Amino acid sequence: MGRGKIEIKRIENANSRQVTFSKRRAGLLKKAQELAILCDAEVAVIIFSNTGKLFEFSSAGMKRTLSRYNKCLDSSEDAAEECKAEKQDSKELDVLKDEFAKLQKKQVRLLGKDLTGLSLKELQQLEQQLNEGLLSVKERKEQLLVEQLEQSRVQEQRAILENETLRRQVEELRCLFPQTDRAVPSYLEYYPVEKEKSLVHHGVTSPDLVSNFAFENGDSDITLHLGLPSDVYGKRKAPEREAHSNDSGSQLAL
């Protein structure tokens, strides 16, 4: 005849409760030892009685087992947190993907494409959005044009002021250095020899021009070739000039 089934609840009788505790505690520690030996497992059992007395069993040392337990507990908590964070990130990524798809679809519709699935109300809203955007673009364009015009006006005023300043400086310089009425002598007056060279260079062979130029200089090629002084040549030429002048006068009288 087997034992009857015992109801699992607190034993009210203190003596019976103490006897039951002693028996079951010994059986639990024995089963723990058997489990550690038979299955090569690391087993630890901690028991506190209702009076606060400690009973324990550990197959590999209580501190070592507790340290290993704490590490496993921390790693499990970290793993749980990582798993939770990954799930949260995955949800946020899905939300961002949905938003990106909606925005991309909206952009395509703003360009006037893929309008087949829109109702009349949605098309009216899209048209209103496009009109508002066009007005904003026009306002910005007008604002930029006005700013450029204002900059051009400022630059024009600056140029006018600079011109006025330069004009005043020029007038002041004219007052400090007045112009003289005497004409500036030419290059040939300073260098008459260059005149002769220029005539010869340009092929001027007229005897009158050559003689006149020689007479003006008081010298000629003949004096240069004969080695005579210029005053002798002038004295010899004087009677010839007088005779020539007399002949010309007589011809005029006739």
The 10s digit of each residue's pLDDT in 167-187 is 999 988 888 876 654 554 554
Q: What is the pLDDT of residue 160?
A: 93
Give tens-digit pLDDT for 68-87: 888 888 777 777 777 777 88
Name the DSSP class of 218.
T
Q: What is the pLDDT of residue 29?
A: 93
Q: Which amino acid is at 131?
A: N
CA distance 146 to 19: 102
Half-sphere exposure of 233 (CA within 13 A, CB side): 18
Q: What is the pLDDT of residue 24?
A: 93
What is the residue extent of each domain of the chain? 14-60, 118-178, 189-253
Q: 73-87, 110-124, 209-223, 228-242: which range is least confident on average? A: 209-223
Q: What is the pLDDT of residue 77?
A: 73
The overall pTM is greater than 0.85: no
Give the pLDDT band of residue 32 (cuts 50, 70, 90): very high
Q: Is the pLDDT of residue 223 over 60?
A: no
Q: Which of 28, 38, 32 is nearest to 62 (CA)?
A: 32
Q: Which fold has domain 14-60?
A: SRF-like (3.40.1810)
CB atoms within 10 A of CB 90: 10
Q: How far apart are the first and last CA of the chain?
A: 197
| Averaged confidence pLDDT in the chain | 75
Average pLDDT over residues 203-222: 46
Reported residue count of the chain is 254
Give tens-digit pLDDT for 83-127: 777 888 888 888 899 899 888 888 888 887 878 877 888 888 888
Q: What is the pLDDT of residue 227?
A: 46
Residue 45 in contact with residue 56, Cβ under 8 Å? yes
Q: Is the pLDDT of residue 52 over 80?
A: yes
